[in-house]
Amino acid sequence: MTRVRLEINRLSIDRPKKRWKIYFVIITEHPTEPDKMVITTIPNSPIRFTPNLDNVFEFGDDSAGSEGLLILRREMPINRDLNVHCYVRHSRSDVRDAGDVLNDIQSGLGANVSNVVTDILGTTNPWLVIAKAALPLIGKILINVKDREMGFISMYERFGSEFEQDEEIDREKIGGFSKVVYTWAVDRE
């Protein structure tokens, strides 16, 4: 069985402010139901940027076995491509955590949420299962969450022949005020 894995390795913020409380809203395709999408917030508590980080956060280091922030791990899709949306957000509240944001999204989607699942996509995070047709509503719902939008990154990947030569490929994208370095990996078992 072939699995794909997505990790975020580095996040840079291009703003003069040096204190941030960052979290990610991740949206991707449901692994078994093609008419559904899943949404989560990662990590559970926002990542705290302080002035000594100079607006760059590294998720791991160069030591052996050190990995980035795991976003998902799943079977390779049959069509060998996977669509992942990543919204980088700054929490304006000192007490709100990722679960509160996920509840706000769930409330905004209403009947478009079919259930909440865990232990899906290789993580223990709670994921909201929504109808694919509800995807355009996410942007409007996030506007109503009283946090600051720092950028949108499309992590869409088509797993072509380059993954036959190199099982891990790093990508870097800029969206809004954020630059994200992430890795797509193919794990053959």
Per-residue model confidence (pLDDT) at position 123: 86
Judged against a pLDDT cut of 60, whether residue 107 lies above it is answered with: yes
Collapsing DSSP to helix, strand or coil, 26 comes out as: strand
User: 43-101: per-residue pLDDT in tens?
Assistant: 988 999 999 999 999 997 665 555 789 999 999 999 999 999 999 999 988 777 777 88
Range of the domain at 162: 2-188
pLDDT at 122 over 80: yes
> In the prediction, which pLDDT does 63 show?
58
Q: Which amino acid is at 50?
A: T
Question: How much is the pLDDT for 41?
Answer: 93
Average pLDDT over residues 120-129: 90
Query: How many structural domains is the chain composed of?
Result: 1
DSSP element (H, E) containing 164: helix 162-165
> What is the pTM assigned to this prediction?
0.92
**Average pLDDT for 139-143:** 87
- pLDDT of the residue at 167: 87
Q: What is the pLDDT of residues 27-36, one digit of tens each?
A: 999 999 999 9
Give the contacts of 41 (CB within 8 A, at least 6 positions apart).
23, 24, 25, 26, 98, 99, 101, 102, 105, 125
Phi, psi of 71 (to 5 degrees): -100, -50
For residue 106, what are its two tokens? 């769930």
Q: What is the CATH number of the domain that holds 103?
A: 2.60.40.150
- Residue type for 114, please? S
Whole-number average pLDDT of the chain: 90
* pLDDT, position 99: 78
